[in-house]
Amino acid sequence: MKYMDEYRNPQLAQQLIHEIKQSAHQTWNIMEICGGQTHAILRYGIDRALTPEIQLIHGPGCPVCVTPVQKIDLAIQLALEKDVILCSFGDMLRVPGTKTSLLSARGQGANVQTVYSPLDSIKIAQQNPDKQIVFFAVGFETTAPVNAMAVKKAQELGLKNFSLLCAQVLVPPAMEALLSDPYCQIQGFLSAGHVCTIMGYHEYEPIAEKYKIPIVVTGFEPIDLLLGIQKCVNMLEHGKNNVQNAYTRSVRREGNIPAQQLMKEIFEVCDQHWRGLGCIPKSGLKLKSNYLEFDAEQKFNLSFVKMDEKQTVCIAGTILQGKKKPTDCPAFGTACTPENPIGAPMVSNEGACSAYYQYEKR
């Protein structure tokens, strides 16, 4: 196929749905671990079209949603207490910390600016030499290369007033954490095409082998997703446990080597806290020792204090683990809405609760 509308062809979609349902001789639980895929699944009604044969489980695929409360608290602390311009992607502003959000902090006088790229923060640093500029570096492997590029650019320019508050997370360790749960119901995975465009899919092969589970790399359009589900179901039905690529127009096994090399130059792997999942070993990225001058936590001597999230009716943790659906939450659509969110999955445009609010009710 050549054009985008071909990946939304309703006749082809119906054909694939029929083939999937015909080939499934039992119910299979398949998790997508990408917020963009979750929204597409709900938007196009793929989940409802495939039931009861296929149960689609929504995993921790929203980087905004899994950013730990403590990192948001540190960002708010920087914005309120230090002479800092805090730069962030827009969907982070309304995510709740322990007591408040970055948006509320801005209402209290904090200098919080929305940017579209960390490179925008470099320009702000050049324009404001008397201010410290901190970029809130949130995301999966997709955002890591450009965040690394921002650090390298700042070093080349000799900028002393730029740093990252780093909350980079890695997908494969989170998958292993989910699969290690003794109550895990996941039987197959759909892997995010944009992550694999950067990283390739070779690092998923040991996971498929270790946990005896099929993993399929797929994209974000209806036909992409249905092709990925079809491949996953076929492997499940035939007892195969390997990795297949259903997104060949973007993904290669080895991934984007220059992007990976840039990441390795600037970052190193570390343990990372995930909202709803706790601390997952080797699931994050931090700046290497020779780039610590660009680490906001080091520069401002910030301490990462483990704090319990305030108790609410929100069940975001179990939703992010795929154990519950947003509609299982007593606050969904009533006390918790996009205009008045209690939990992070209702805030982000990649969050599962946001997807259900937009599409499931319709």
CA 263 and chain centroid, separation: 17
Distance CA 181, CA 318 (A): 12
If you average pLDDT over every residue of the chain, what do you get?
A: 94
pLDDT of residue 311: 60
Distance CA 105, CA 75 (A): 10
Spell out the residues 6+ positions from residue 12 whose beta carbon is closer than 8 angstroms to its own.
Answer: 6, 223
> Where does the pLDDT of residue 276 fall: very low under 50, low under 70, confident under 90, or very high at 90 and above?
confident
Span 295-320, pLDDT tens digits: 999 999 987 665 555 567 899 999 99
Evaluate if residue 29 carries a pLDDT over 80. yes
- Stretch 277-291: mean pLDDT: 96
Q: Nearest Cα to 165, choosing from 79, 46, 106? A: 79
Of 41-45, 129-133, 339-343, the one with minimum mean pLDDT is: 339-343
Span 77-120, pLDDT tens digits: 999 988 899 999 998 999 988 888 999 999 999 999 999 999 99
Q: Nearest Cα to 143, choosing from 76, 179, 92, 208? A: 92
Q: Which residue has the tokens 């209806």?
A: 222
- pLDDT above 70 coverage of the chain, percent: 97
Q: For domain 66-171+265-299, give the fold.
A: Rossmann fold (3.40.50)
pLDDT of residue 306: 58
> Where does the pLDDT of residue 52 fall: very low under 50, low under 70, confident under 90, or very high at 90 and above?
very high
Distance CA 35, CA 187 (A): 19
Spell out the residues 6+ positions from residue 264 whose beta carbon is closer than 8 angstroms to its own.
Answer: none
- Stretch 206-214: mean pLDDT: 97
pLDDT of residue 362: 47
pTM of the predicted structure, to 2 decimals: 0.93
- Stretch 37-46: mean pLDDT: 96
Distance CA 96, CA 262 (A): 32
Q: Nearest Cα to 229, choosing from 212, 211, 247? A: 247
Instruction: List the chain domain ranges.
Output: 4-63+178-245, 66-171+265-299, 316-360
Evaluate if residue 204 carries a pLDDT over 50. yes
- Stretch 265-275: mean pLDDT: 96
Distance CA 193, CA 189 (A): 12
- pLDDT above 90 coverage of the chain, percent: 88
Q: Are 98 and 73 in contact (CB under 8 A)?
A: yes
- Stretch 331-344: mean pLDDT: 91
Distance CA 96, CA 102 (A): 8
> Where does the pLDDT of residue 349 fall: very low under 50, low under 70, confident under 90, or very high at 90 and above?
confident
> Where does the pLDDT of residue 147 fall: very low under 50, low under 70, confident under 90, or very high at 90 and above?
very high
Span 226-255, pLDDT tens digits: 999 999 999 999 999 999 999 999 999 999
Span 149-176, pLDDT tens digits: 999 999 999 999 999 999 999 999 999 9
Q: Are 32 and 190 in contact (CB under 8 A)?
A: yes
- Stretch 139-147: mean pLDDT: 96
Evaluate if residue 4 carries a pLDDT over 90. no
Evaluate if residue 178 carries a pLDDT over 50. yes
pLDDT of residue 303: 77
Does the domain at 4-63+178-245 match CATH 3.30.230.10? Answer given as no
